[in-house]
Every structure is written in structure tokens, then in C-alpha cells.
Amino acid sequence: MSATPDLTDAERARILAKSALFNPPAAQLPDGRRDLVGLTREELADELAGIGEKPFRAKQLWHWIYHQGATDFSAMSSIARPLQERLAERFVIGRPGVATVQTSADETRKWLFRFRDGQEAETVYIPDRHEDRGAVCISSQVGCTLSCRFCHTGTQTLVRNLGAAEIVGQFMAARDAYGEWPSPRGETPRLLSTIVLMGMGEPLYNYENVARAMRIVMDGEGIGLSRRRITLSTSGVVPMMDRCGAELGVNLAVSLHAVRDELRDEIVPLNRKYPIAELIAACRRYPGASNARRITFEYIMLRGVNDSEAEARELVRLIAGIPAKVNLIPFNPWPGSDYRPSGREALERFAAIVQSGGFAAPIRMPRGQDILAACGQLRTDSRRTRPAA
């Protein structure tokens, strides 16, 4: 059951139009100091110019903040003590606060991060089962305005967008927890080497902040993740998919989940605005899609709802010619959810049909289910502190 069944598209659009109400808190702290995390290089240089420092200082600070992971100016050994002190009077290098952290039996770890205004979002680290590396699943919003029927986050009406500092801050805080910044001997981090924007929220409804955060993460003099190591998952905000491809060029994952508009309208309500044909057309024109960089179609397997052989065949027909793979995700239940996961047999039959259509179709076994960290299980108790209208 969705918590917002009475929201019409028009009402939802009105909420989005008022999205200024959903903005993150300003970079200024109550004590007047400014958080440097989340600023672009140019903005960082401007801040430093404001205290009479030359542009090379921005480069130096960028390196300390994003390459070394420093959170304290006094650790910045290439900067003289008096300047360290002046910086500390005016600026901070922020991190979200850790409200709770839980580690699953399968080593998946979930943080509940608390931001400066008290709002909260979840981040999940998913270690690779076979290799010494893993992915960090990052949230883009507190809650979500879209209310997909199978998604726990969707039962929480949007509280607000996360700011760039909060988005990049989730990754940096996760790196802090694993000691994953370059060691003094120059060893580079390995564990936290991939980002998936698949946590809470619809990243393409918070595009500006997400783009700013991903540009910071991709900057070669800082964290330096290649765009190939970043995957953005969208429920299908078609116009923003074009921008995302042209401007960021990160890997794209599309939450398809149904092959007929009638069913997709019901389980992914955004489909009423951007139906399947438009969504698939946007995938076909997504720049950089190739066999080496395939688009991922996510398909949640709901028992008796979307898991028939006929639907598998229709899926193959729909995506024919797109360099793509299909992730089959057995539905992950959450308290109060009203679907059941497909059985093993249905999963395997569906996968076999998609594979014989020429697409890889791995079945994604849930990770971190015991701590409600699997896909679609994230939800916080954050509430809106002021009315939306």
C-alpha cells in the first residue's frame, strides 16, 4: 500500500513545482562558519579569495578534502599553522552525523545518516562476494515523491532533496568508516570503489544536486571515480535522462518492472507521465551506451503480477537492439508490503527467456535483508517539519 494513494499527478506536479520548499539547509552553520564540502572548485576558490588567499590554495584544499579525506585543517601539513587556524575559524569540512549503523550477516552495512536539520537518509555498503571491493548505495532524497507500489521509500512522502554536500558526504563518511582514504604510503582505496545512486529518492528529480555531487566525485584530483564506476538508477524521468547522459555520462539503470503500460501505470505511477514507449526511446538515445557500457534494466519479480513467460518475451521485444542487461530482482518484502517475491522456478524461466533473447539476465539475490538494507527496503522516520502548501 502506498501512503499517498490520493495524490493525483497534478497534485504531485504542484508539489514538485514548489520544490524550493524541499531544499537542503544552507552551507552556513549556525556559528557562521561555512561547510566547504559540496562547493565546486570555482566556489572554493571564491571562498578563499574572500579571505585574501590565491587560487592555488583551492587546489591544495581540494586535494586534502577529497583525495586525503581530511576533516581537520590542522592535519593539512602543506599549509602553515597560522593559515590552518584562519581556515578553521571560518570554515568546516563537514560530514553527515551517524545516527545508527548496522552490519548484516552477509557483511552488508547500512548507515542512517542525520543531517544538520535533523532529517535522515540511509546509505548501504555492499561488499562484492568474490572480490575485495564493493559498492556504496547512496540516497538522493529524504523519502521520494513517487510512490511505486512495491517500494518502502515510496510510502514516505518526500521530505526534501539532499544537497550536494549531503550526497557526496554519504560516500565520504562511508570511506571514513572503512579507513578507505589513500594511506601515507600511497595505497589507493579499493573497497569503496563504485557508487550506485539507488538509495532513497529519485535522483533525476534532484538533478542539480546529484550532478554537482557526481562532478565532485569524478574530479581526477580528488576522489577521482571514473563515470564508469557510477550508476544512476531512475524510475524513468525521460527529459532528465537526456541531460544526465549528455552532461554526466554515468552508467544508467532504468527501473522498468513492467512491459505493459496498464500494469506499469499501477506499480510505477510515473509511467502515466512518461509511458514505456517514451522511456525505451530515451534509452535508445542514451549517449555512450555500447556493449562495453550497457544500460541496466531493473525488473522486480512480483509473484503472479509481472513474472509470466509472455512478459519475458515482451521484454526481449521491447529492448531489442539496446546494449543492455536485465537485473532480475526478487521482490524484497518490508513491513506492510502487499506483494510476494516470485518463486525460484518463475525466476529461472523468466531469466532463460531473456537470456535466449540475447541479454544477460542475472538474478540478484538480496543483500542485507536482515537489516532492511536490500533494494526497496530503505525508509526513515523523517517527517516534514513544515507544510508543503
Binding site for ligand SF4 (CB under 6 A): 144, 146-148, 151, 153-154, 201-202, 235, 255
Task: List the single partner that 359 binds among ligand SF4, ligand SAH, none, CB under 5 to 8 Å by kind.
Answer: none
Segments in the chain forming alpha helices (H): 9-17, 41-49, 56-62, 81-90, 164-177, 207-218, 238-247, 261-267, 276-284, 309-319, 344-356
CB-based burial label for 73 (10 Å; 0-12, 13-18, 19+): buried
Instruction: Give the phi and the psi of residue 137 in degrees, each rounded to 5.
Output: -95, 115
CB of 271 closer than 8 Å to CB of 261? yes
Which position's Cβ is nearest ligand SF4?
154
Q: How far is CA 123 from CA 98, 101, 167, 379, in A?
A: 10, 10, 10, 11
* Residue choice 145, 233, 369, 382 for contact with ligand SAH (CB under 6 A): 233
Q: How far is the CB of 310 from ligand SF4 (least distance, A)?
A: 24
CA 167 to chain centre: 8
Tell me whether residue 12 or residue 57 sits nearer to ligand SAH (CB atom): 12
Determine if 202 is a binding residue for ligand SAH (CB under 6 A): yes
User: Is residue 122 flagged as an active site residue?
Assistant: yes
Q: How far is the CB of 207 from ligand SAH (least distance, A)?
A: 13
- Give the total of residues touching ligand SAH (CB under 6 A): 16
User: Is residue 375 flagged as an active site residue?
Assistant: yes
Report angle CA 255, 259, 265 to the nearest 5 degrees: 75
Region of 20-28, 52-60, 148-156, 182-190 interacting with ligand SAH (CB under 6 A): 148-156
Exactly one of 120, 122, 166, 180 is catalytic; which is it? 122
Q: How far is the CB of 204 from ligand SF4 (least distance, A)?
A: 9
Q: Please give the helix or strand (H or E) that residue 231 lies within, else none.
A: strand 230-234
* Residue choice 36, 76, 151, 252 for contact with ligand SAH (CB under 6 A): 151
Tell me whether residue 144 or residue 372 sits nearer to ligand SF4 (CB atom): 144
